[in-house]
């Protein structure tokens, strides 16, 4: 019961009352103290369902409304589904108070967790753990086993509160993050439901279905946005950006941006800031707003076509490509002012920008090549995942064969291994007869988490082998750290003292 209480509290994030308003079994003094402290946090409601069939009853979703954790702990054993993300209010659509209403996304009070539904048991939950670690946002907070698969909870460290400001902008950001998490896992796992409702009904944690829980594995919204933006960049689409305090509006909605985009007589001449500079400035504004390359290229291609003296389409492509290299954080105020003075004279147009202006910054050499190394690391991890298993955790072959299979330049391979915290290597022999053994932190973690003692022996054998190479120091440290976190809640001990199955 204590573990379940911890799970519910970790997910709900004070979105519900701790105790019932009426008929609570808590000590009266404790009730008064708890309710006094609760005034600092808005309280909402969640919906509970007794059976999956109640989600599809003729009169709508059949269930009841709960506003306290105390009720949750009293009723959990007889429930099948719940809404882990808290609504502002919930009610009933019929006089008998059987069918729910109000469980819409626009009525969400706070988003506590992202949940991925996997309708397959072709992979054990240990494989889901390592897949999330290597190919998604990180190890999940909670994994529940369902009759047909698993549900994976990624819980936020602090909830995202939803408002109707800016056309529910926060909700749009959350939906994009949710979509990207599902897609990242669908690339490496079977049965991921890509059409699942982002913030609807999910399986209720109980004493029988919890396969994994770690309250330390939580995620900050800032980190999730940064991760999601990288995923969007790979797909050439923009991310809805959350505006924090002190930030101006989206630069592409600023008056200076609209005025420059409306110019038609701009041309280039020696000694004068012209078309290329103007389009580059617009492209930087789009980049800083989180728009994808394709969207920005379409915008500037249309603008170029409207000019009295347009440039070649290939030149527009080069401008966009240059703006998205990341050398500049955004459009500089000085250039914006000069462009307005030259091509929109006589108008007093304010120049408001994020944090007072965008500026150029020089990246370290390691940062300039980071994107390449990240891509090569992903390719190498995918290769290792394909070529290894818990029975054979180390892939033995030649470095030449690895480079040919993954497309990684041989001159880059050693540097990639040295930098990676996820890949381990062992070299035996010299010259043409040399053999290279490869594995990953994820593969070894899966070995360590398996119940089969033979697999555990293979894990220790592989770790001993890899410990002999200085290139593996950081990866071995990462393995030890992740394993410590993953084993704080041993998968072989259930909440009630019964043993869980391993899949």
**Which residues are within 8 A (CB) of 352 and not within 5 positions of it... i.e. 6 or more apart?**
248, 249, 254
> pLDDT category, 70, cuts 50, 70, 90?
confident
Q: How far is CA 420 from CA 340, 384, 408, 465, 476, in A?
A: 47, 14, 14, 18, 11
**pLDDT tens-digit readout, 101-120:** 999 988 999 999 999 999 99
Given this model, what pLDDT does residue 336 score? Answer: 86
In the predicted model, is pLDDT for residue 62 greater than 90? yes
Q: Is 145 helix (H, G, I), strand (E, B) or coil?
A: strand
In the predicted model, is pLDDT for residue 35 greater than 80? no
Q: Is 331 helix (H, G, I), strand (E, B) or coil?
A: coil
CB-CB contact of 157 with 218 (8 Å): yes
Given this model, what pLDDT does residue 467 score? Answer: 84
d(CA 228, CA 295): 17
**pLDDT tens-digit readout, 385-416:** 778 877 788 999 998 888 888 888 887 888 88
Average pLDDT of the residues in 257-273: 83
Q: What is the mean pLDDT of the chain?
A: 81
Query: And the tokens for 156?
Result: 């936020």
> pLDDT category, 262, cuts 50, 70, 90?
very high
CB atoms within 10 A of CB 96: 8
In the predicted model, is pLDDT for residue 369 greater than 50? no
d(CA 327, CA 278): 17
Burial class (CB in 10 A: 0-12, 13-18, 19+), 492: exposed
CB atoms within 10 A of CB 3: 17
Given this model, what pLDDT does residue 14 score? Answer: 87
**pLDDT tens-digit readout, 438-495:** 998 878 877 776 644 455 667 777 888 888 788 888 888 878 777 766 655 444 333 3
CB-CB contact of 170 with 242 (8 Å): yes
Q: What are phi and psi of 217, to 5 degrees?
A: -85, 80
CB-CB contact of 104 with 114 (8 Å): no
CB atoms within 10 A of CB 228: 23
Instruction: Annotate 449-485 with DSSP letters as a single string.
Output: H-S-HHHHHHHHHHHHHHTT-GGGHHHHHHHHHHHHH
Given this model, what pLDDT does residue 417 score? Answer: 87
By mean pLDDT, which of 219-228, 372-381, 420-429 is the weakest?
A: 372-381
Q: Residues 378-407, buried b or exposed e (16+ Cβ, 10 A)?
A: eebbebbbebbebeebbbeeebeebbeebe
Report which of residues 18 and 95 the model is more confident about.
95
Average pLDDT of the residues in 38-64: 87
Q: How far is CA 177 from CA 172, 215, 227, 294, 401, in A?
A: 9, 21, 8, 20, 37
Given this model, what pLDDT does residue 244 score? Answer: 42
**pLDDT tens-digit readout, 41-53:** 789 999 999 999 9
Closest by CA position to 180, among listed 125, 132, 145, 130: 132
Q: What is the CA radius of gyration of the chain?
A: 27
Report which of residues 210 and 167 the model is more confident about.
210
Q: Is 83 helix (H, G, I), strand (E, B) or coil?
A: coil
CB-CB contact of 354 with 247 (8 Å): yes
Query: And the tokens for 134?
Result: 């290597």
**pLDDT tens-digit readout, 123-160:** 888 888 888 888 888 889 999 999 999 999 999 999 99
Tell me the residue length of the chain: 503
* 283: enclosing H helix or E strand: helix 275-288
Given this model, what pLDDT does residue 499 score? Answer: 31
Measured on CA atoms in the order 168, 174, 175, 176, is the torsion positive or negative? positive
Closest by CA position to 416, among listed 388, 386, 387, 374: 374
> pLDDT category, 327, cuts 50, 70, 90?
low
By mean pLDDT, which of 99-103, 160-164, 206-210, 373-377 is the weakest?
A: 373-377
Measured on CA atoms in the order 260, 266, 267, 269, is the torsion positive or negative? negative
């Amino acid at each position: 019961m204590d573990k379940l209480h911890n799970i519910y509290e970790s997910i709900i994030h004070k979105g519900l009352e701790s105790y019932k308003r009426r008929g609570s079994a808590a000590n009266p003094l404790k009730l008064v103290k708890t309710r006094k402290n609760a005034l600092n946090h808005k309280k909402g409601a969640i919906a509970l369902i007794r059976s999956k069939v109640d989600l599809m009853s003729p009169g709508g979703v059949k269930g009841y409304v709960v506003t306290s954790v105390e009720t949750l702990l009293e009723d959990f054993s007889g429930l099948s589904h719940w809404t882990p993300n808290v609504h502002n209010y919930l009610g009933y659509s019929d006089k008998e108070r059987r069918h729910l209403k109000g469980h819409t996304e626009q009525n969400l009070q706070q988003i506590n967790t992202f949940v991925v539904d996997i309708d397959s048991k072709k992979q054990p939950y240990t494989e889901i753990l390592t897949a999330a670690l290597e190919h998604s946002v990180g190890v999940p907070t909670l994994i529940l086993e369902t009759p047909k698969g698993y549900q994976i909870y990624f819980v936020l460290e602090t909830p995202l509160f939803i408002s109707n400001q800016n056309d529910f902008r926060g909700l749009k950001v959350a939906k994009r993050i949710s979509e990207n998490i599902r897609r990242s896992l669908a690339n490496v796992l079977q049965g991921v439901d890509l059409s699942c409702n982002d913030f609807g009904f999910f399986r209720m944690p109980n004493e029988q279905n919890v396969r994994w829980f770690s309250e330390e594995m939580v995620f900050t919204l800032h980190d999730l946005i940064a991760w999601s933006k990288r995923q969007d960049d790979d797909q050439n689409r923009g991310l809805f950006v959350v505006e924090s305090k002190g930030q101006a509006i989206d630069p592409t909605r600023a008056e200076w941006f609209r005025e420059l985009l409306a110019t038609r007589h701009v041309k280039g001449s020696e000694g004068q800031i012209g078309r290329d500079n103007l389009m580059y400035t617009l492209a930087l504004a789009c980049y800083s707003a989180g728009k994808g390359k394709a969207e920005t290229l379409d915008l500037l291609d249309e603008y170029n076509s409207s000019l009295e003296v347009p440039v070649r389409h290939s030149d527009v492509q080069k401008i966009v490509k240059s703006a998205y290299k990341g050398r500049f954080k955004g459009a500089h105020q000085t250039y914006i002012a000069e462009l307005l003075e030259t091509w929109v004279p006589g108008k007093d147009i304010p120049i408001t920008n994020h944090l007072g202006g965008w500026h150029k910054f020089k990246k370290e050499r390691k940062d300039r090549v980071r994107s390449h190394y990240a891509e090569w690391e992903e390719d190498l991890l995918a290769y290792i995942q394909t070529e290894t298993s818990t029975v054979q955790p180390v892939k033995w072959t030649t470095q030449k064969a690895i480079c040919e299979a993954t497309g990684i330049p041989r001159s880059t391979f050693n540097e990639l291994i040295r930098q990676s915290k996820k890949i381990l290597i062992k070299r035996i022999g010299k010259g043409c007869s040399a053999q290279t053994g490869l594995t990953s932190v994820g593969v070894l973690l899966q070995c360590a988490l398996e119940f089969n003692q033979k697999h555990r022996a293979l894990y220790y054998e592989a770790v001993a082998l890899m410990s002999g190479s200085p290139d593996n120091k950081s990866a071995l440290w990462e393995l030890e750290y992740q394993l410590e976190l993953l084993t704080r809640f041993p998968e072989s001990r259930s909440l009630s003292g019964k043993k869980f199955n391993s899949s």
